[in-house]
Amino acid sequence: MSNSSDGGSPDGESRDARHGDRAPGTRGMRGRASGERAQVNEGGDSLEAISIVQRGNLKSLEKTLRKQWRMGQNIVLCWSSDERGLLVIFVPHYFLGNYCAAAGGASDDESRDNEAFIRELISGERRKSRDELFAVSERLDVSPTFIKLNTALSEEAQVLASVEELIKRYGLSYVDSRAVLLFDIVDFSLYTPFEQASQLNSLSYSLNSACSKLWGKGIEINFARTTTGDGYYVWNRDLSASANQDLFVFMLLVVADNAVARAASRGNTVPVIRTGYHIGGHYELYQAEGVNPSVFSYIVGDVTIELARMLDLAQAHQVLIGEFHCQQAGWGGNAVKSITSVSAAAFVSACNRALDAVRGIALSSKGIDAMSCHLTDMEDADGETRPRRFRIVDKHGLSRYAYNLEIEIDLAGEVMTLGLDPSRLPGRSEQAASPPVQSGASTEELIDDLSSLLKKRGNKTITEE
């Protein structure tokens, strides 16, 4: 079943052509299929743009990296050009954890300093100057590995970008600030295996369909995903100025496509979802598949943990936005990051102002005339309107804040509202007054009261602040 009754994608491609982590019609790196091994740069230039001699260098480099990688036993941290080849720093996969741990008499400050050093080292470009590489080698107390090539490595942009891609695939990366989505299927475990497969396939189609439609509008989102078992983490591979905003608009279309599909479906083939959007840091790695690294990456870190805990208490159809601060950027001529960071509320407002870009996209054979979104708000005692903020406490007693997002879409004069209705949101937490202690209370009664209090404190809760 298609997730839209418009007969497929705008460009007429079939649903079967839309499976996987890419949208049909993508090019270069953005459209890399799972079996392709060609390395490309961010601009989408293919391996064919590289000379035969340099392609031989890349092939030789990958062969050596795979050998030294040893099915995931070692990882690459950084590299530097050499007139006869490359200098590369390899370390065992457990090295970084040991180096950053406060062990062996290391202070907490030293441990944090080591972790900050490693994060900076594996963020962004991995190429270092010769002096920088040997400084890293000295600090980590590891020797560089020399990889001989038949000829000197070219300084062409395509070649260097391909080397960077290879190094990252055999290593570990850190991204300090990136938007990530979590789509979670409600009551997934209660369905039959066939229904579960159908629901995951339906959600997968919604992702691909939204991506294809945005490409048709010139918004070239380059999304990646990894399954959680009952949903997907989704992020934008690009780290451009507009990447976070692109992913936000992508989320709105996925939620809309899923809602349209549910309205037209029968049985339990289309999932009920709850959705989270958050911006934060994470590590990115390529897991071993047999004797080769996977061509798809996986992410784990603060942002994925926060999303999982946010959605643990979210309701069906709800869209939660985490509390974050990020650099704001727009599209086109405004695609320049701001100097100062903006709040989640300001970010959502900016994204809402940019939603004219989706006008004309078809949902259920009807074009979008208008789309808007806003955080559920309230009027405070001073008469000021502000977003309602919710405090989410997990089973460990750790808390974070989130906002409820409401979406409105005008489909050829028919208004569709998405997200959770404000009337269904939790209210403010009211601390119940403790009952007066009776002088005649027995020891057993006091223990029961204390046990009940501790149990309440351990419960997961979501309340308005």
Least confident of 96-105, 300-309, 320-329: 96-105
Q: How far apart are CA 337 and CA 249, in angstroms?
A: 18
144: pLDDT strictly greater than 90: yes
Q: Collect all residues with Cβ–Cβ distance below 8 Å to 393 and sequence separation of at least 6.
A: 399, 459, 460, 461, 462
CA 138 to each of CA 89, 123, 134: distance values in angstroms, whole numbers, following the listed order: 11, 19, 6
Q: How far apart are CA 219 and CA 356, in angstroms?
A: 12
pLDDT classification of 364: cutoffs 50, 70, 90: confident
- Average pLDDT of span 117-134: 95
Mean pLDDT across the chain = 83
Higher pLDDT, 96 or 11: 96
The domain at 175-422 falls in which architecture? 2-Layer Sandwich (3.30)
pLDDT classification of 429: cutoffs 50, 70, 90: low
pLDDT in tens, 159-191: 999 999 999 999 999 999 999 999 999 999 999
361: pLDDT strictly greater than 80: yes
Compute how many other C-beta atoms are within 10 angstroms of the C-beta atom of residue 435: 8
CA 123 to each of CA 127, 131, 164, 171: distance values in angstroms, whole numbers, following the listed order: 11, 19, 12, 11
pLDDT classification of 76: cutoffs 50, 70, 90: very high
17: pLDDT strictly greater than 80: no
State the Cα angle at 307 between 410 and 343, rounded to 5°: 70
Residue 211: name the closest of 13, 67, 431, 458 by CA. 13
User: Could you give the 3-state DSSP secondary structure of residue 265?
Assistant: coil
pLDDT classification of 49: cutoffs 50, 70, 90: confident
Q: Are the C-beta atoms of residues 354 and 206 closer than 8 Å to each other? A: no
Q: What pLDDT does 287 receive?
A: 74
Q: What pLDDT does 301 receive?
A: 94
On the 0-12 / 13-18 / 19+ scale of CB atoms within 10 A, 233 is buried
- Most distant CA pair in the chain: distance in Å? 91
Place of tokens 């007969």: 7
Residue 436, φ and ψ in degrees, nearest 5: -60, 140
Residue 41: name the closest of 56, 27, 54 by CA. 27
Residue-range domain boundaries for the chain: 35-170, 175-422
Q: Are the C-beta atoms of residues 64 and 147 closer than 8 Å to each other? A: yes
196: pLDDT strictly greater than 80: yes
pLDDT in tens, 371-381: 999 999 988 87
454: pLDDT strictly greater than 80: no
Per-residue 3-state assignment (H helix, E strand, C coil) for 320-387: EEECCEEECCCCHHHCCCCCCEEEHHHHHHHHHHCHHHHCCCEECCEEEEEEEEEECEEECCCCCEEE
24: pLDDT strictly greater than 80: no
